[in-house]
Amino acid sequence: MKSEPELAELIATVEGVEVTMAEKGFGTRVQLRAGEESGLGEADLEAVLDHLAEPQRRPFV
């Protein structure tokens, strides 16, 4: 899962897209909104959420 600043940076170039994140239980709730001018459809937003949901292995720091 990317941090909120990382996620905001990824979508900053797409006009009309809004992202909100909130801690929920043991995870993070992510909400994406896209206006018609963004050119993104529901399937595109679902694909982004699916990609974010993939577990990532990180080495211990």
pLDDT of 13 reads: 65
Q: What's the whole-number average pLDDT of the chain?
A: 76
CA distance 6 to 17: 15
Burial of 2 (0-12, 13-18, 19+ CB in 10 A): middle
pLDDT score at 25: 78
Task: Indicate the pTM of the whole model.
Answer: 0.55
In angstroms, the CA 48 to CA 42 distance is: 10
pLDDT in tens, 11-38: 666 677 777 778 777 777 888 888 888 8
Residue with the larger pLDDT of the pair 54 and 60: 54
pLDDT exceeds 80 at position 56: no
